[in-house]
Structure 1
Amino acid sequence: MCRLRRIKRKSWQSSCDKDVLLNILSVLTDLLSLGTGRRIHYVISKGGSEALLQALISAARTKPPDPSILLPLLRLLARVGQQDRKFGIKVQKAEATDVILSLTKQNLGHHLNLTHCLWVLRVCASNVAAGTTLGINGAMELLFKVITPYSKQHVRTVRAAIEALAALLKSKSNSRQAVNRGYLSGLLRLYQDWHHNDVSNNYIYIRRGLLLCLKHITNIQLGRETFLGSRGMEILFTSVQDCLSCKNLDPIVTTVTQILRKCYPKEPLPLVTVRSSYSFPLPGNIKTERPCMGSEDKLLKDDNESDTEEDMEKDLNKDDVEGKEEDYDLETDVNKLRSRPGLDRPEEELGQYEAMCPELSHSFQELDSESEEDKKSEDRTENLPSTSSHFIPSGNSVKDPNHRWRTQSGTEAGSDPREKDFKASLQSSIMKEKCSRSLISEQREIVEAVQNANSYEEDSAKSHTFSPCLLPKEAAWYKKIFNPECEASVEPNSGVRSETTEIMTDLLEEHQGSIPFHSPHFYIARAKCTKSIPAYRDLAFPDFWGHQPPPYGTPMLDRQYGVQRDKVLDDVRRLIQPGDLIGRTVFDLDEPSLSSPDAPCCLTFFSKFESGNLRKAIQVREFEYDLIMNADVNTNQHHQWFYFEVRGMKLAVPYRFNIINCEKLNSQFNYGMQLVMYSVKEALQGRPHWLRAGHDISYYKNHYRCSAAAGGGSRGKCYYTLTFSIKFPHEDDVCYLAYHYPYTYSAMMSHLDVLEQSRNPRKVYWRQQTLCQTLGGNTCPLLTITAMPESKKSDDVEQFYNRPYVFLMARVHPGESNASWVMKGTLEFLVSSDPIADLLRKCFIFKIVPMLNPDGVINGNHRCSLSGDDLNRQWLTPSSQLHPTIYHTKGLLYYLRSIGRAPLVFCDYHGHSQKKNVFLYGCSIKETLWQAGCMVDTAVITEDVGYRTLPKILDKVAPAFVMNSCSFLVEKSRVSTARVVVWQEMGVLRSYTMESTYCGCSHGLYKGLQLGTQELEEMGSKFCLALLILHLKSLPCSKKVMAQAALLLDLEEEITITDRAQRCSPDNTETLEICWQCLMLISFPLCAVVLFTQDSAKASIADRKKPGKPPPRPDVALQQSPEVAAVKCKQPDKAGNMFVQPGVSGGISSTEQTRRQRSEVLGSLLGLLHCKASCPQVLWEAFLHNNYPSLRLKGNYCT
């Protein structure tokens, strides 16, 4: 074949024999018409394009040109040119541009020949330079004559001409010519004619080709202005309404949407300035300057020119495709990777950090005496609830909603016996203040200590008035409770309990909820001492009242196709149909006088509380609002975190909210993530849950821009809209909406207070110190947690002193609240009475900074501290004045290294907004060089691979963790982060950043589910378990420790399954509603047998509510295999409940292989469960572990 092609090429270039040339063209046409594109690429590689062009030039010069040769030549050129990326350049080199254009003009009256010429013209114009040359030589005038006026004759030729014109208009010079010659208006009229006359949608490609012409013209500013002046927005918007109902017209709808978005007039945000509403004077000579006003409108026009076609298409394509992995800017300098920088401060300064390691000099004199009171305390605290009642808490374990909440009669339902002592010793004294005067003095001591530590002034305290919300029924209570007088309940100088305290106690008892490790009293005490720039006077009700995770998981939101397209069209409707717009400002942080919260038929917004972030709210329509977030303090950027209160809603009405100044290029909101909502009425009814909420969620680029001068960049900054709709569960409720589960600084401090009281002091060594004062005057706590030595014997004390360190910290980025929930799970597990926790404390000394950026958290920042800096980019050279928490944390790590006690593990807890699952970032020289494509000399570069051990362990023990998402690359843009600096400067091999998703999981047990606080806390406790396993694998251990660990780890899985069985038993689990069809979906693939009696069937199965084939009769058993169990249902009780329990034929094999197979089956079934059961996750877990819950059959089919 190769020889034949060489002969053909020679014939094309030298033979004058017409028959030979025709035969060669015929054979080549047949060869290239069959098979894949590999043949065409082979011809191109052998110079086929050049040979065909030379043959075309020779044939065109023949007088007259022979169409029998030209037609197959043109067909071959069009086919080969489509696959040849350099075809336009080859056309120019061969000087064939004029020849092709001349042939096109000569065949205007011969439509068959003209069509072939237009195909080649289109391929030539794909090169911008060749297209520009064609445009200069009159190609556009020629094509415009072909496509106008509207006619359905010779549609094949018209289509080829339109596609060639679209290719020519990719050149900006051609687009300017088209605008100057009035072609844009003509294209709009032509598109209208085709749209109105193509009733049967037979000419979709012609209509889309015309739209592509408009799309390319509007890539230039002149084209957009002319398009707007020609009423192009109205024409396309009106025409696209007829296409929305037909999916075959999606190409047209998509192109129209792209044009409308591109041509929507750009404008600045409706703000006086994009700078944050809050500013903070920095120490020293550093000043924060606000940008000059009025510069945005002036520069906005020039910035708009920088929006390229690629930017527009890339943004629109995100509708259905999740974003790719970030591009790595890898460090490839081996010397930099291997270098060990010196101290960034004088060595003598490190001595001050000795005081932060009191455990190394503690004498343990308290071990000499053991009073009866201590013994009782030990007995009592052994029964304290950790994050769960078994070894390691499980995020998917079932919790009865009444388990920790009082009934109306005041009795507790389903309480855990192990929690009785805890409630008597801690919660009773906190929640039932009138029954325990000892707590009052204890509480006063806490408040006094906090006030002294923070230099809290009396005048500042009096300025705090707490008013979480006002509900109709509780209005009188709130009026008396949450006002300035309520401070008497926690004032240290109050001698007796006031009437306000009595009312507060009554309220707390009326709506009692024993939320573990949360005390409203402690929270108020801590909130009074928290210092903020706005001097917050209010508490958010969820933070005061507390949050309890719901007893079920939330699946990721299934996004309906085209939801983003519909939202964009709604935005366009505002521009061309402004008659129904209200445009009323209902909340304004900058100008409160301009707000009109009392306007009829509008919601009331509020965000002036800790961690709150809402700057402005504008009512667009009756049930639609535009919201603007505040920038981080002393910056004009980092808009992502939001947290605000809304009230005055109507029931069952979908409210739409548009947050219009987001900055991220993409978001997990496009891929199943929902925001969270907290209802005060639900909380007062015993359901204090932050729940995932929202539907019709979309995240896309909008028409708002920030000028380069105001945005601080070389180009104008684009903004994005997060839009969502919510139906509120109650009328006139008070609800809170947030980006993610909030966790405030005051919540953290009160949590530490409760943890300190709940621990067993004889077993848990706990020291809470102040690392430093923040810029805002708040304390940054430093915790030391380990196990007390068993005695004062030298061996025990020596073992205590020699324990390796683990350094943990979280919340350097304020908006990553999920990091705090993971840290909460870690802390609760570390101080618990769990045997694994006790063993872990004996293995390590934990140094923990639970919140590294308190000021940012308090003031509602997303990324920065009060200095306006990202603290996780300041680790190379932190400033003691501007970045005190980073400076002193690094100093403490320096000190530990200087005494030979560098941490075995360093981990910084973070949240990730672009990826799913939980994963680690680590550091590796070899992996970085390999990824960058550099040669690695293993003889010169040696590296301990122990950095991979902990992630591998977590992949085994933590359901939310995914090893495949981990990365160990060192990027240039990350060299100033904590992970890289601690690895490089402190020599910590296992230096990590642990990233937790805001969204959910794509793998494992939680696949398809969004992560809640329970799963995040579970991740924190699983991290502790992984540390213990790491210790056993990596460090020498005593025989006693090894024996204890082996026993505990062997029993852990069995105990976990048993605990889940207890939680799923009929006596301890809520009844789950499920229909017959869904029960069959679960049972049949497991080869289980469902046995019912005729009586139970009549008693429990209702009539069918949907037409179709009925499900299997309940008295007919399914086929079973000999090795599986039967599932037998007892007779229903009077309420219709049926308790499903393992049958008599034996349990399903519990081997790892069988359980893994069943997990895979059930994982796929979870997506098939269309039954709105109370908790499909519970069903999954129950059948996975042979523990069957109480089911209520609610009919044959789901309603």
Structure 2
Amino acid sequence: MLGINGAMELLLKVITPYTQKHTQVIRTAAEVLAALLKSKSNSRRAVNRSYVPRLLRLHQDWHSHDTAHSFVPIRRALLLCLKHIAKLRSGREAFLAAQGMEILFSIIQNCLDDQSLEPVISIVLQILRQCYPKSPLPLLTTSSAYSFPVPGIVTSEAPRVLTEEDYEDDSEEEEDKDSDSEDVKEEDDDLETDVNKLSSKPGLDRPEEELMQYKAMCLELSCSFEELESKPGDDLNSDETEYANHHHIPTAASPKGLFLNKDQISGGQEKEVLVQNSLLSRVKMGRSSIHLTSKRGPGMNSYRNVHSNDPGIDSSGSDVSDIQASFLEDAGDMDAISCPRISASFSNSTKTRETAEFIDQLLQTHLKPMVFHDPYLYMAKARRTRSVADFTMMAFPDFWGHCPPLSAQPMLQRKCGVQRIKILEDVRRLIQPSDIINKVVFSLDEPWPLQDTASDCLQFFSAFESGNLRKAIQVREFEYDLLVNADVNSTQHQQWFYFKVSGMRAAVPYRFNIINCEKPNSQFNYGMQLTLYSVKEALLGRPTWVRTGYDICYYKNHYRQRTAGAGAASGKCYYTLTFAVTFPHAEDACYLAYHYPYTYSALMTHLDILGKSVNRKQVYFRQEVLCQTLGGNSCPLVTITAMPESDRADHLEQFRQRPYQVITARVHPGESNASWVMKGTLEFLVSSDPVARLLRENFIFKIIPMLNPDGVINGNHRCSLRGEDLNRQWLSPSAHLQPTIYHAKGLLHYLGSIGRRPTVFCDFHGHSQKKNVFLYGCSIKETLWQAEATVGTSNLSEDVSYRTLPKILDKLAPAFTMSSCSFLVEKSRASTARVVVWREMGVSRSYTMESSYCGCNQGPYQGLQFGTGELEEMGAMFCLGLLVLELKSGSCSHQLLTRAAALLSAEEESLDFYLQR
């Protein structure tokens, strides 16, 4: 009513240009006007009456004359008026027409560091972000650059030109402040409150007779002792034998104290993996850390010049030999590393034979031996891996291998105001476009290569296993906008990236902006860095993925996805991850990734080497195929236990009565940290550590280390080749559409049907919003209590043992924290592995174990980012937790307690600590 009756016009007359008289009245009038303009109808009147240029002139006048900053509240109130008007599209158009972007940009340039002007700076930045014209991503379509013809997928329609009408009013406030809170709130309104749904057990989702097919995957329950022994190399075909030179399997000690004897492969007599330091020496005691052999100090970087400011290394790379330098030109090219897809032409190719000899010479001369890695075997495995884009290249880091750094890197200390600076640089592009190059230098959407090797711009590449970079645009001489690819057959899930960059200069900061991220927040705002692998560093004997990047921040940008049509929700927002990198060498080939990559070919290589490393008289290690994926790749299933003492009936009976533990991982391809945790689990279980021996002798481990091979291979972040989240398909999976989930669930159902329900089921994941490692479990009572829906639940009984394992891990594992664990059952998680295995199979200890992409904010690793060593350690600690869980159970045998007591007798205090009842 006040707006209709001329109140705003009256108030605007009271707000005069700068004066030192009646300032309290002017302030009040400006604040009242700002309050009235919160109404959209009043804001429309303000636009129609040309208030925007008048308000801009008033603010300019007060800003230029108020040099002592005595009247900041008046200036702030005038800006609030503009901010409210800018919530309307017509208001933003009026603001742009009045040169508002230029005026406010000029005003803020000289006062960013003035704390007394914080109330003004904050609102100016919000207005600039609100009024920055919204635009579509610089892509022809948001659909993935790769498509795969699978049942149930309809080809998307051709993209259309987007207009301003495609975007809804973006009326939410644009916060400009550097984010200082990373707390992730749990949504109580998603909790399942239906007691029947929580407590009922659904029927079998397939004919019962179908379960008998999984008997063949549990040969340990039926075969004789002789049949249990499989011959090494049975699963290695002739192609792999040709290229897998097992003489090159490393024999040197690793940083964790594990090593392999060369004789275990080449000499025929298998030796057990030796462990110099027991896992027990690396546990944490309560909240105080004992000496940890694996604890890292915060002061070291694996590359001494990871930011190229250490004079200790010649950044020109002049100490790299000629053979190394020539290899850098096409490092990772399968033609150069002799791993093409078509074997017929391969075997007769003169060029390929020459390059094979070259690579063999390079490997023998320069490769640093690595435990559980063989480049020759990796090439053979990669050659068999099937991708949608039919990759013909390998990434050098995956081929050459990775050694964990000797020390963990501290979390990045974020500079105050870095986000504001980046946003203003984005605004500068709009109002000062003369220095913008805007040249596309790489694109998966172009049918021809865009790389200009003669120019001095960076060269990009991502067409290799797990690679993800869709487009690179040179913005300024040393700045690039990057776009990552959506998951195959999808328009979403842009988070994972992994690409090669080359042609860099030394001692030059390069800025990269990944402009089509989707999540509203990221650990990149709270100390996390991306990972980098330098080929030159690897050839110098330091083959290591390290954390890198500075001036890192993550914020909402001006790009929007068009609405789907009338009545649709507003266009999806996108976010920018921006970071600067100073590369360790000039003219290097470096790989940048969201997190430490772990490919499907790496897994298959690892499993092969593990199988050949074990002493088969003591360790039962069986690798088989759970099923074939939609993309034609094998999904491996691994069984690990101890061999029976003999073929006597009582020993075979003890062997077959061991309880099962089922562990899965990597259902979400972008969560590569889950694979590193799984790697630690697998290596520990086959090791000669006394704890591992006890575990093998008392349990049978069924492990599916990669539930989504196709997604991993094709660089997806979350989905399968059908563009669906496989961890939302456990309720009713299809054998034809979700084969890995269907058969994983079938195997679990089979175990239940023969009375061998797993003691623990755990699915390894990665978490992008939280720090540390933690578990999600399932509890009816905790869910109902949290939802305040406890009526009628007084007689509800529940097995509370679901809390025991996380409590144990909280005491044992340096990276684990109980405080982040949750046992709530959400409606949106009803079709996940954790909830389905809990409800349908009756496994009370059914978990998801989440590992942060970032690091720890508590415990011995507080303030440090995770390296692969810490993740692998967590995988081993999980196994130790399973042993302690059994020791604490009422059904634990006297024999096991006695053996465990003997094992821990050297640390009696530890034994008491672990076994507190």
Given the two structures, how large is their TM-score scaled by the length of structure 1? Answer: 0.68
Verify the 8 A CA contact 1:910 1:993 in the aligned structure 2.
yes
Structure 1 residues 703, 385: CA separation in 2 closer, same or farther (over 3 Å shift)? farther
Q: Assess if the C-alpha contact under 8 Å between 2:18 and 2:65 holds in 1.
A: no
Residue type at the aligned position of 2:731: L
Any conservation in 1 of the 2:270–2:612 contact (CA below 8 Å)? no
Q: Does 1:507 align with 2:362?
A: yes
Match of 2:219, as an amino acid? P
Distance 1:806 1:383 in 2: 23
Q: Are 2:584 and 1:720 aligned?
A: no
Partner of 2:273: 384
Pair 1:226–1:480, CA change in 2 (3 A): closer
Q: 1:499 to 1:185 in 2, by over 3 A?
A: closer
Contact 2:381 2:604 in 1 (8 A): yes
One-letter amino acid of the structure 2 residue matched with residue 879 of structure 1: S
Match of 2:101 in 1: 233
Question: Which position in structure 1 is the counterpart of 2:144?
Answer: 276
Distance 1:1007 1:190 in 2: 51
1:125-162 deviations in Å (ceiling 9; x for gaps): xxxxxxxx222222111111110243221111111111
Equivalent in the alignment of 1:656: 511
Q: Flag the structure with larger Rg.
A: 1
Give 1:549's aligned residue.
404
Q: Give the corresponding residue for 1:345.
A: 206
Partner of 2:832: 977
Residue type of the alignment partner of 1:474: Q
Identify the range of structure 1 (683-692 vs 318-327) with the bigger mean alpha-carbon deviation: 318-327
Distance 2:491 2:23 in 1: 54
Unaligned stretches of 5+ in structure 2?
232-260, 284-291, 303-319
Q: 1:684 to 1:941 in 2, by over 3 A?
A: same
From 711, 723, 732, the equivalent of 1:856 is 711
Counterpart secondary structure, 1:641: coil
Aligned to 1:322: 182
Matched, 1:801 2:669: no
Secondary structure in 1 aligned to 2:871? helix
1:355 alignment partner AA: A
| Percent identity for Structure 1 against Structure 2 | 62
Quick check: 2:777–2:822 contact (8 Å CA) kept in 1?
A: yes
Alignment of 1:58-457 (within 5 A): 133-283=1-151, 286-294=152-160, 297-298=162-163, 300-305=164-169, 307-310=170-173, 312-313=174-175, 316=176, 319-328=179-188, 329-365=190-226, 384-385=273-274, 397=294
Cα contact 1:806–1:847 (8 A) shared by 2: yes
Question: What code does the residue aligned with 1:397 have?
Answer: S
The change in CA–CA distance for 1:485 and 1:1008 in structure 2 (over 3 A counts) is closer
Per-residue CA deviation, residues 848-867 of structure 1 (Å, 9 max, x unaligned), is 00000000000000000001
Structure 2 contact 628–739 (Cα < 8 Å) conserved? yes
Deviations 1:941-970 (A, max 9, x none): 000100000000000000100001000000
> 1:537, 1:609 within 8 Å by CA — same for their partners in 2?
yes
Deviation at 1:986, TM superposition (A): 0.4
Q: Which among 877, 880, 889 is matched to residue 1022 of structure 1?
A: 877
- 1:398-449 Cα offsets, whole Å, 9 max, x none, are 799xxxx9xxxxxxxxxxxxxxxxxxxxxxxxxxxxxxxxxxxxxxxxxxxx
Distance 1:713 1:848 in 2: 43
Q: Tell me which residue corresponds to 2:605.
A: 750
Task: Name the structure 1 match of 2:324.
Answer: 474
Q: Which residue of 1 aligns with 2:487?
A: 632
Q: Where does structure 1 lack aligned partners over 5 or more consecutive residues? A: 1-132, 406-469, 1057-1150, 1153-1199
Match of 1:878 in 2: 733
Partner SS for 1:1009:
coil
Give the whole-Å Cα distance in 1 for the aligned partners of 2:674 and 2:205: 28
Are the structure 2 counterparts of residues 559 and 368 from structure 1 closer, same or farther at C-alpha, using a change threshold of 3 Å? closer
- 1:638-787 equivalent positions in 2, closer than 5 A: 638-709=493-564, 714-787=569-642
Task: Look up the match of 1:928.
Answer: 783
Question: Does the 8 Å CA contact 2:328/2:588 hold for their aligned counterparts?
Answer: no
- How far residue 562 of structure 1 moved from its aligned partner, in angstroms, is 1.1
Asked if the contact 2:272/2:613 (under 8 Å) is kept, the reply is: no
Moved more, 386-395 or 808-817: 386-395
Once the two structures are superposed, residues 246-297 of structure 1 have per-residue CA deviations (whole angstroms, 9 ceiling, x without a partner) of 12212211111100000000000111101000000013xx2332233215x1
For 1:325, the aligned partner's letter is K
| Residue in structure 2 matched with residue 518 of structure 1 by the alignment | 373
Task: Provide the rounded CA distance (Å) in 1 between the counterparts of 2:280 and 2:845.
Answer: 25
Instruction: Letter of the 1:567 partner, please give it.
Output: K
For residue 207 of structure 1, give the secondary structure of its aligned residue in structure 2.
helix
Q: Which amino acid aligns with 2:222?
A: S
The secondary structure found in structure 1 opposite 2:802 is: helix
Amino acid at match of 2:687: S
Greater RCO (Cα-Cα under 8 Å, separation 6 or more): 2
For the Cα contact (< 8 Å) 1:820–1:850, is it kept in 2?
yes
Please identify which structure carries the higher helix content. 1
Residue 385 of structure 1: how far off its partner (Å) = 4.0
Contact 1:627 1:657 (8 Å CA) reproduced: yes
Cα offsets for 1:483-514 (capped at 9, x unmatched): 54754899799799965554333211221311
What corresponds to 2:450 in structure 1? 595
**Residues 1:1042 and 2:897 are matched in the alignment:** yes
**Matching residue's letter, 1:826:** T
Amino acid at match of 2:226: Q
**Native 8 Å contact 1:391 1:835 kept in 2:** no
- Equivalence map 1:472-621=2 (5 Å): 473-476=323-326, 484=335, 487=338, 500-593=355-448, 595-598=450-453, 600-621=455-476
Q: 2: distance between equivalents of 1:890 and 1:643?
A: 31
Which residue of 2 is the match for residue 949 of structure 1?
A: 804
Cα pair 2:334 2:393 within 8 Å, conserved: no
* Contact 1:614/1:643, CA 8 A, preserved across alignment: yes
For the pair 1:907 / 2:762, whether they are aligned, the reply is yes
Alpha-carbon contact 1:163-1:209 (below 8 Å) kept = yes
Alignment CA distance shift 1:966-1:488 (3 Å): closer
For residues 500 and 633 of structure 1, what CA distance do their matches in structure 2 show?
A: 33
Is the Cα–Cα contact under 8 Å of residues 393 and 1021 in structure 1 kept in the other structure? no
Deviations 1:1020-1067 (A, max 9, x none): 0000000001111125233332111122234469999xxxxxxxxxxx
- CA distance in 2 between counterparts of 1:920 and 1:1036 reads 24
Amino acid at match of 1:235: I
Q: Distance in 2 between matches of 1:499 and 1:530?
A: 24
Give SS of 1:136's match.
Answer: coil
Tell me which amino acid in the other structure corresponds to 1:266.
Answer: K
Change (3 A) 1:239 1:486: closer
Give the distance between the partners of 2:223 and 2:276, measured in 1 at CA. 29
Aligned residues between the structures: 846
SS of aligned partner of 2:56: helix
